[in-house]
């Protein structure tokens, strides 16, 4: 298993709207693809932040990723080990691309390689060709179309050969016609790279139509304790 979680929980206290995300059991195999579906506020981003090793759970019986005991790293406060693992093994596609405006598209795609400490210009060019943005490599992000920018973000998320790609609503900023293309390219490129893929979406019908298995969360209105709960479970 690439990812194996048991008894994981993360809560936001806050007086106004206490919220808890619960993951009783969740496994994801190497190279596996999955769409995480849930309405806005159901905890999709919270889950992806935890899986990106960027936000610690409040409780975790087990949190294994890429053969490492992440729960233990957190317990011992090994932020450096987590950052290193994130840099080498995880790729992220943000909602609106998140390209750095002052760098060329080529440098943007190569950023994940530089952070992971292994540059590979051939791979940057190959990904750009596969994603149809080879002619844009010398340009700045502002000179690209919205769809081209999102394709560059996909290339960047894969350039350092991660084992897991996380995409949080990657079609939020593109036209509906382009949303299909983004999700299709994302799945195709992750498969080609052998990377597992988790896409958070509030549009499970689209993901399903494009061949993504869908995992929907269960949401529970606040109970006697006043805490709204969202449960993601799958083994």
CA distances from 189 to 146, 151, 157, 178, 232 (A): 19, 10, 10, 16, 26
Q: Which of 29, 119, 145, 213 binds ligand ADP (CB under 6 A)?
A: 145
- How far apart, in whole angstroms, are the C-alpha atoms of residue 108 and residue 85? 20
* Closest CB 109 distance from ligand ADP, rounded Å: 14
User: Could you say which of 57, 147, 162, 170 contacts ligand ADP (CB under 6 A)?
Assistant: 147
Q: With contact defined as beta carbons under 8 Å apart, do 99 and 153 qualify?
A: yes
Stretch that binds ligand ADP, among 26-34, 68-76, 158-166, 178-186 (CB under 6 A): 178-186
How many other C-beta atoms lie within 10 A of the C-beta of residue 151? 28
* Window of 10-18, 68-76, 83-91, 117-125 that interacts with ligand ADP by CB under 6 A: 10-18
- Give the range of 14-22, 59-67, 103-111, 206-214 binding ligand ADP by CB under 6 A: 14-22
Q: CB within 8 A of 141, min separation 6: which ones?
A: 97, 99, 100, 101, 103, 105, 108, 149, 152
Q: Which of 2, 37, 44, 71 binds ligand ADP (CB under 6 A)?
A: 44
Binding segment toward ligand ADP, per CB under 6 A, in 25-33, 43-51, 117-125, 152-160? 43-51
Minimum gap (Å) between residue 199 Cβ and ligand ADP: 12
Interface stretch with ligand ADP, choices 39-47, 57-65, 69-77, 189-197 (CB under 6 A): 39-47
Residue 12 interacts with ligand ADP (CB under 6 A): yes or no: yes
CA 23 to each of CA 46, 134, 231: distance values in angstroms, whole numbers, following the listed order: 11, 40, 6
Q: Which long-range contacts (CB under 8 A, 24 or more apart) does 210-213 make?
A: 210/180, 210/183, 210/184, 211/187, 212/33, 212/34, 212/35, 212/183, 212/187, 213/33, 213/34, 213/35
Q: Using only the alpha carbons of the chain, give its radius of gyration.
A: 18
Judged by CB under 6 A, the residue of 81, 87, 178, 227 near ligand ADP is: 178
Residue facing ligand ADP at closest CB distance: 147
Specify whether the CB–CB gap between 119 and 110 falls below 8 A: yes
Question: Could you say whether residue 41 binds ligand ADP (CB under 6 A)?
Answer: yes
Which residue ranges make up the site for ligand ADP (CB under 6 A)?
Answer: 12, 14, 17, 19, 38, 40-46, 131-132, 145-148, 178, 181, 185
């Amino acid at each position: 298993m690439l990812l194996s979680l048991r008894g994981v929980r993360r809560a936001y206290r806050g007086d106004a709207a206490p919220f808890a995300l619960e993951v009783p059991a969740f496994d994801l195999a190497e190279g596996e693809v999955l769409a995480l579906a849930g309405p806005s506020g159901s905890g999709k981003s919270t889950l992806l932040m935890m899986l990106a090793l960027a936000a610690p759970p409040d409780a975790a019986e087990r949190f294994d990723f890429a053969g490492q005991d992440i729960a233990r790293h957190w317990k011992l406060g090994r932020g450096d080990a987590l950052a290193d693992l994130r840099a080498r093994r995880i790729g992220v596609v943000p909602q609106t691309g998140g390209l750095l405006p002052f760098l060329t598209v080529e440098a943007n795609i190569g950023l994940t390689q530089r952070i992971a400490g292994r540059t590979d210009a051939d791979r940057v060019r190959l990904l750009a060709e596969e994603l149809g943005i080879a002619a844009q490599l010398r340009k700045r992000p502002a000179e690209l179309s919205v769809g081209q920018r999102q394709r560059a973000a996909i290339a960047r998320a894969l350039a350092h050969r991660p084992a897991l790609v996380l995409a949080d609503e990657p079609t939020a900023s593109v036209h509906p016609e382009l949303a299909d293309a983004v999700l299709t390219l994302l799945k195709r490129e992750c498969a080609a790279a052998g990377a597992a893929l988790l896409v958070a979406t509030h549009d499970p019908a689209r993901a399903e139509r494009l061949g993504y298995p869908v995992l929907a969360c269960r949401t529970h209105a606040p109970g006697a304790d006043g805490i709204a709960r969202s449960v993601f479970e799958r083994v």
